[in-house]
Structure 1
């Protein structure tokens, strides 16, 4: 990267302490090791993607349909929704535990519930056992949510934005494996047609386990627990390659410590109510809730969970064709999501959100028109024409909502509220998803393509909300983003800390002076 492009990623203050002769990360041993840890953390998004998308594939398999008693309508919605309910109930506990015990232990709690859920699912003798297993798997997914927090807090400064954006993209790595595995098992004439894909839910966590066991804890969490030497050791080893005198280490230790101290001074204990105490936090809260809701109420809930029903409404009833389209769709999703994650710094978060919503809106209008036409004339060519626009719609969704739905909340909240903010976005997503999973199959069965008109209206609302309330956050470190939301409050706190710091060490005040000026 050039110096100008790096300034768009981290800002001038942090850029001034980065190594001037920095090589590519794959040429630097300590960054290779650090990013190796991060790759293992990315796999937890793949795990959630596999688990969540599995239901889409199973609905196309006759052995599963017979085993579950051919569910439809509200009952099918409940079966799909039970996993989301498990995740939603686990998220508040996970958010508390991540601050209390650390980010890393939460991931291992997820392993326990995942193995329990998969074991019950593969050994299920009746629909009740299958439903119970989906609850435990969803609960495990909530604990795996700690992975993106840990990733954001250990990543090298110039890598953070792309890697956090890449996290949710790996959802499609899991959904792709799920889709193609179901396609491969579609002709098995026994319960193993759906039990083999069910068993493979443990693949990604097992691959990640050895590396995650060696992964260090978040330096921000360590500093919050007054374990400064351990945090300095991490930053020295993995960000500075063992150079204890590196300006980057001193800068990060100073910035993180001051940020946490200021948060402590403003509130002796952090609660969920702190999200309402300041104008900046109320803005963050609005974004976290709306983003989580918009991630499901932009039409994706219909396309992703009930693709089989959509394909039936346009005349595609073959199991082979349904599973094949689903398989190719997941590959397309993965490609476009990665493209979006690579653009977060060059294009910016706000631009991607706006572009994404516009593409989805246009695609949904065309899909609705074609579906309505097919319902009237039953021309196969009209029904088939819906498919490319489904891909276009997903491409729009993937360039912003896939990479940023977790990454954006993870960077806008200050340290003390970060786990709660991310958990709140996830809870909002699951609440919206629960609504979708109950209502969508009923609505699709009753009014078919006319139901799409609702999502056209919602996409217009989403576009306006993003344009008016979602700020750009590129070019700031995790700590510096406070100036976007807190404005004068951040400047006042920074100025106070600046005066205190000047009495101790004049050389350490330059960063706070710059931060105060930027507000």
Structure 2
């Protein structure tokens, strides 16, 4: 493939410059209204680290430790898991934008409860409600981004989405460091909690500037509106543009064929070899995103730093701030290289590098427990930073983008739900178990993650396939081969055969056959 072209429908198309195209420029500049959902999630991770380091918060909640601290942190993941039964139906029935709105409204109720008082029960219930709303919004937002942007830009924008987790984390770290200087007042921890609602308020106002997913519109039979969206975003409003027509035909025919000949029930995920392969990736990437060792530092940095003798709250908050800044740069920077290096190479590089970092940290922590020297402490600190750069190479941005693109439209919302359920389940385990393990067995807990990372490398090598520069609808061929359902100019033999068979139906099915044929080629 040439550097100045991309492939779609079996043809080569010239690459575009987004800021020179009016509709694309406007949508891309307002797309942040969908993408900051990830930042809201990241703010929470940094918020919990900040609260744990604040004397005022610890005094308000009677210095929680062990299982109590784990429950306070894990309650948000519990809320996200409770949203699982409704999330895919909200996304598929009400639409991607409506899902973001519903999630934001619920999150605002949670923010209010968390910020009200000193009761642990109220804090926990508020975070459960917050997690429930986030569970809805965090699935609908990446679906909207992935299904709306130009084929040339899918990898960058869908990968940037989850990388914005660190932007929220950086803001949370800055806020916590600043409000920690409000001495003798509960506002030092209330203010960071209240500010968690600002992204949701912004989304409620500005999400309406972002068009609805053309794929969702097509699935609801709103073909004229879907084509207008595609033309506006991808071709400056020209509905006769050749690329728009190829895209529209491929999306429309594929969705129509999926509706008629494929199911979208939960059982589909283990009904065929291709879907079982997808399920292995979705489940594993969900757990790997949190069980690669990042869960210790993301939510319990003060406990980790205590292992190497760092307990001053301002020092802890400063390290948290610097780490967040490094993560923003490394996570967003790699997004622009996803299509250059490819997904599989980045996942493998990330997993292997994380293992090496964890081995180094484990050795340094073991030595510090014996000698308590500054060299071992500095080694742990350095490798915490290197580890996160390694993690960001693969699992920061591509967690959502890779999970979205390997799924056909009919299964995309449910598939992301499976992935996010595994994320929430692993988060719940981490947030509840990690503080207990760090308190009881200290540095030896790191050995568990060293072993798990070896398993992770094997799974990535065995099952993660390359989707580099493959159009969204056409990725099905990588999993389903000759069985893939794909319409348009790049239609598979199976799809063409289904169309031909349908057109040849007679008798009681003739009217249905004619109707479908007209829909497929309209």
Q: Same fold (TM over 0.5)?
A: yes
Q: Distance in 2 between matches of 1:492 and 1:415?
A: 19
Q: Distance in 2 between matches of 1:155 and 1:496?
A: 31
Q: Distance in 2 between matches of 1:39 and 1:185?
A: 27
Deviation at 1:496, TM superposition (A): 1.4
Deviation at 1:125, TM superposition (A): 3.8
The residue that corresponds to 1:341 in the other structure is 335
Q: Secondary structure at the match of 1:216?
A: coil
| Among 44, 56, 65, the residue aligned to 1:51 | 44
Return 369-378 or 300-309, whichever deviates more: 300-309
Tell me if the contact between 1:222 and 1:231 (Cα under 8 Å) persists in the aligned partners.
Answer: yes
Q: Distance in 2 between matches of 1:110 and 1:12?
A: 34
Q: Distance in 2 between matches of 1:312 and 1:6?
A: 52
Deviation at 1:187, TM superposition (A): 2.2
Tell me if the contact between 2:61 and 2:118 (Cα under 8 Å) persists in the aligned partners.
Answer: no
| Among 243, 250, 261, the residue aligned to 1:266 | 261
Map 1:5-404 onto structure 2 (within 5 A): 5=3, 10-11=6-7, 13=9, 16=12, 18=13, 20=14, 23-145=16-138, 146-189=140-183, 190-267=185-262, 269-404=263-398
Q: Distance in 1 between matches of 2:310 and 2:172?
A: 21
Deviation at 1:182, TM superposition (A): 0.4
Deviation at 1:420, TM superposition (A): 0.7
The residue that corresponds to 1:4 in the other structure is 2
When the two structures are superposed, what TM-score results if normalisation uses the length of structure 2? 0.92
Q: Distance in 2 between matches of 1:61 and 1:6?
A: 52
Tell me if the contact between 1:315 and 1:380 (Cα under 8 Å) persists in the aligned partners.
Answer: no
Q: Secondary structure at the match of 1:11?
A: strand
Change (3 A) 1:118 1:381: same
Deviation at 1:440, TM superposition (A): 1.0
Q: Distance in 1 between matches of 2:390 and 2:78?
A: 27
Q: Distance in 2 between matches of 1:45 and 1:117?
A: 17
* 1:198-252 deviation digits (Å, cap 9, x = unpaired): 1111222233333212222111111111111111111122211121211111111
Change (3 A) 1:14 1:48: farther
Tell me if the contact between 1:92 and 1:420 (Cα under 8 Å) persists in the aligned partners.
Answer: no
Q: Distance in 1 between matches of 2:210 and 2:72?
A: 36
Tell me if the contact between 1:339 and 1:399 (Cα under 8 Å) persists in the aligned partners.
Answer: no
Deviation at 1:74, TM superposition (A): 1.1
Q: Distance in 2 between matches of 1:229 and 1:144?
A: 27
Q: Distance in 1 between matches of 2:421 and 2:134?
A: 12
- RMSD of aligned C-alpha atoms? 1.9
* 1:176-204 deviation digits (Å, cap 9, x = unpaired): 00011101111222101100101111222
Tell me if the contact between 2:104 and 2:201 (Cα under 8 Å) persists in the aligned partners.
Answer: no
Q: Distance in 1 between matches of 2:4 and 2:16?
A: 13
Q: Distance in 2 between matches of 1:32 and 1:466?
A: 36
Q: How many residues of Structure 1 are paired with residues of Structure 2 in the alignment?
A: 498
| Among 455, 458, 461, the residue aligned to 1:461 | 455
Tell me if the contact between 1:60 and 1:319 (Cα under 8 Å) persists in the aligned partners.
Answer: yes
Q: Secondary structure at the match of 1:92?
A: coil
* 1:454-503 deviation digits (Å, cap 9, x = unpaired): 10010010001100110001121111000000012124423315747999
Deviation at 1:358, TM superposition (A): 1.2
Q: Distance in 2 between matches of 1:15 and 1:227?
A: 27
Tell me if the contact between 2:104 and 2:203 (Cα under 8 Å) persists in the aligned partners.
Answer: no
Q: Distance in 2 between matches of 1:23 and 1:134?
A: 43
Q: Which runs of 5 or more residues in structure 2 are unaligned?
A: 485-491, 505-512
When the two structures are superposed, what TM-score results if normalisation uses the length of structure 1? 0.92
